[in-house]
A and B are shown apart, each in its own frame.
Chain A
Amino acid sequence: MGLDLTIRDLKVTSPRGRDILSVPQLDIAAGSLVGIAGPSGAGKSTLLYALAGMLEAKGCIVWNDTDLLTLREEQRTAFRASHIGMIFQDFLLFEELSAAANASLTSLYRPRAQRAGIRQRAAERLAALGLKEPDRSVASYSGGERQRVAIARALSANAPVLLADEPTASLDRAAADKLITDLVALARTSGTTLIAVSHDQHLIDRMDRVLTVSDGKIVEPRGQAA
């Protein structure tokens, strides 16, 4: 179910031509839990967005045998829809919709045949994450609950890869710890590759492997060799 990631000679430049990220080589095995640490502005989120095919870049970003950088934008979007789930620091939910509707958001645009399955999985993920009233508007939820809805949304499409950008940054310590436990458990049980950018040491400590990014470069690979 997982996807192996292979990066070669990745270069992301700013519109003014300045190098903002340079990764000569990086391999991540399917099903790994990888933390990306480093100071603010170092290029962590840039790396994450590049892995999702949301940035123009040079080099190769290959998920199994699909090189994202050779795809047209619409093909990359389609790839994300079926292979990558995303979690953001400030949840990015539709506040006016219920938790269930947010979690099954992708069912609105996925092929008709997949919609029921997405809704079903979204309900299961919400239940697994301890959200008891899925029909309530997320506007009434706490930060921790909202991020759980976002996680359920990311997992509802059965994506083999989960990219998380500072998933605990908006949460208090207790909520963050509970979320980390659930996120890691869900990723492990489903065999999902989790790549999380975070300043949260509690989250980083739970990862199989940690990459430290500084000044646009991966400078301190720990654990499994990069």
Chain B
Amino acid sequence: MMDLWYDLPVAAQDLLAVIGLLLPALITGVVVLRGHTPWPLVKAIIWRFRVPSVMFIVLIAVSVGLGVGLLAQERGLRKGTAQAADKFDLIVSAPGSELSVMLAAVFLQPSDMGLIDGETYNEIAATESVAIAAPLAFGDSYAGAPVIGSTAEFVAYLTDQNVEGAIFADHEEAVVGALVPLEIGAQFTPAHGMTHIDGGAEEHGVSFSVTGRMAPTGTPWDRAIIVPVEAVWEVHGLANGHAPEAGDVIGGPFDAEYFPGTPAVVVHAEALWANYALRSTFTRDRETMAFFPGAVLAGLYNVMGDVRQAMSVMALVTQVLVAVSVMLGLFILSRLFRRQVALLRALGAPSRFVFAMMWSFSAVLLLSGAITGMLIGVGAAMVLSQIVTAQTNILVTAPLGWQEIQFVAGFVSVTLLISLLPAAVVLRQPVVEGLRA
């Protein structure tokens, strides 16, 4: 049986899970409503008590919306961060914190890091299975956009060659990320440090000309400016990685003697399997460390997963409290129209009809609240995603997923089953008392 389940496509599993979650509610609905059409009365009662009904719907909607929004946002963040690290198969750096190096290299968050020397870099670049070994140089910025030194080869790899205009070919040329407010042909002078963080920085006095614009990548690199790594070293008064007699060349190979050092090397291997061998090769005590940013993120997700599990227990407790509140709310609402219920009983309406009417009333409120909540959740997740994207430059999208639909389906089923109780209790109220209420 389990084999059959695992053989199904994921979408089919998700769909079946939703149906399974909704099944108790559907069966209840069919059994309760069979042979009865209480809708005109349900409509009339909702309209009569529209203010408390709307308040009840809003409470349900907010509760469901919070759940949906958080689930969608958490998934969007995972997806966005994983996507941002997509192009960074392997990073080699000086020993230290993998997380710090990843944050600096992938997410362009400033960090103090050790440097890899020229010999080590050349060893990495010369390794047989390495297709690209791009040194990175950080520390400068222009108008809040980090200016990163690297190679033309890296820009081509990062963008899959999707560059409007041309990739830099000279020391004083630059390629800008898709969201950098500089036109092709514009001139700019970078400054040391991050101007928006340091609150003002010293300009280097070297101007760069924008030759190209990278296609959007959905990563923090969309707000970065990439210049030849040689230029970054030069503006800091260092050797530019090449012997003086080599002239104004840019890009590898570099001369180890004139190589000032790089905090991180982004490595792309010719084949996926080779990455594991490279990681092993360049993981050396006190010299270098090599790691997969994806694995660091996975570790981070695991930690988040533990937190998430703890939060899930809290969320479950919250949902139980919401369910209890729903029941109490329905009890209170049902008290509002006990005269109408008593009237129906006095006129001879069968208890099953009155029960169906009461349950349908609850069902309409709960379903309206759940659907509205789903919309609120998706809307909230979209707004949050935009804020997170604007603040981190990581493209976070949080569309409605199966997980949220399953969450809502479960909520609807549980609460519709719970609402059987107030409907049953209403039937036990004495008719005459109800008429005199």
Given contacts A52-B346, A77-B345, A80-B346, contact A94 B44 (CB under 8 A): yes
Q: Is the CB of A88 within 8 A of B349?
A: no
Given contacts A54-B432, A92-B339, A109-B353, contact A86 B347 (CB under 8 A): yes
B47, CB-defined interface residue at 8 Å: yes
B205, CB-defined interface residue at 8 Å: no
Q: Flag B26-68 by CB within 8 Å of A: 1 or 0 each.
A: 0000000000111011011101100000000000000000000
B130, CB-defined interface residue at 8 Å: no
B249, CB-defined interface residue at 8 Å: no
- Taking CB as reference atom, which chain B residue is nearest A93? B343
B residues in contact with A80, CB < 8 Å? 346-348
A82, CB-defined interface residue at 8 Å: yes
B residues in contact with A49, CB < 8 Å? 431-432, 435
| Interface residue from B44, B349, B432 paired with A109 (Cβ < 8 Å) | B349
Q: In the docked arrangement, what's the CA distance between A132 and B45, Å?
A: 25
A residues in contact with B48, CB < 8 Å? 94-96
Interface residues of B in 343-399 (CB under 8 A from A): 343-351, 353
Report the interface size for chain B: residues with CB under 8 A from the other chain. 25
B340, CB-defined interface residue at 8 Å: yes
A74, CB-defined interface residue at 8 Å: yes
Q: Is the CB of B340 within 8 A of A108?
A: no
- Taking CB as reference atom, which chain B residue is nearest A56? B430
Q: Is the CB of A88 within 8 A of B350?
A: no
- Taking CB as reference atom, which chain A residue is nearest B352? A109
A26, CB-defined interface residue at 8 Å: no
Given contacts A94-B41, A94-B44, A101-B40, contact A86 B346 (CB under 8 A): yes
- Taking CB as reference atom, which chain B residue is nearest A80? B348
Q: In the docked arrangement, what's the CA distance between A86 and B36, Å?
A: 22
A23, CB-defined interface residue at 8 Å: no
Interface residues of B in 403-437 (CB under 8 A from A): 431-432, 435
Q: In the docked arrangement, what's the CA distance between A81 and B346, Å?
A: 8
Q: In the docked arrangement, what's the CA distance between A157 and B347, Å?
A: 10
Q: Is the CB of A96 within 8 A of B47?
A: yes
Q: Is the CB of B347 within 8 A of A105?
A: yes
Report the interface size for chain A: residues with CB under 8 A from the other chain. 27
A128, CB-defined interface residue at 8 Å: no
A129, CB-defined interface residue at 8 Å: no
- Taking CB as reference atom, which chain B residue is nearest A46? B432
Q: In the docked arrangement, what's the CA distance between A108 and B431, Å?
A: 19
Q: In the docked arrangement, what's the CA distance between A96 and B23, Å?
A: 33
Q: In the docked arrangement, what's the CA distance between A28 and B339, Å?
A: 30
| Interface residue from A81, A94, A96, A97 paired with B349 (Cβ < 8 Å) | A81
Interface residues of A in 8-54 (CB under 8 A from B): 49, 52, 54
CB distance from A150 to the nearest CB of B (A): 10
| Interface residue from A78, A85, A92, A97 paired with B435 (Cβ < 8 Å) | A92
CB distance from A78 to the nearest CB of B (A): 7
CB distance from A193 to the nearest CB of B (A): 16
A106, CB-defined interface residue at 8 Å: yes
Q: Is the CB of A77 within 8 A of B350?
A: yes
Given contacts A96-B47, A96-B48, contact A77 B37 (CB under 8 A): no
Q: Flag A51-67 by CB within 8 Å of B: 1 or 0 each.
A: 01011000000000000
| Interface residue from A74, A77, A84, A108 paired with B41 (Cβ < 8 Å) | A108
CB distance from A83 to the nearest CB of B (A): 9
B residues in contact with A81, CB < 8 Å? 347-350
User: Which 9 A-B pairs have CB atoms at the shortest separation, nearest pair first?
Assistant: A81-B348, A80-B348, A96-B44, A109-B353, A94-B44, A96-B47, A92-B343, A109-B349, A54-B431
| B positions within 8 Å CB-CB of A | 36-38, 40-41, 43-45, 47-48, 339-340, 343-351, 353, 431-432, 435
17 further interface pairs, Cβ-Cβ under 8 Å (given A81-B349, A96-B47): A54-B346, A54-B432, A74-B351, A77-B345, A77-B349, A78-B348, A78-B350, A80-B348, A81-B348, A84-B348, A94-B48, A95-B44, A96-B43, A96-B48, A97-B41, A106-B347, A108-B353
| A positions within 8 Å CB-CB of B | 49, 52, 54-55, 74, 77-82, 84-86, 88, 92, 94-97, 101, 105-106, 108-109, 153, 157
A-B contact pairs, 12 of them (CB 8 A): A49-B431, A54-B345, A54-B431, A54-B432, A79-B348, A80-B348, A88-B343, A94-B44, A108-B353, A109-B349, A109-B353, A153-B347
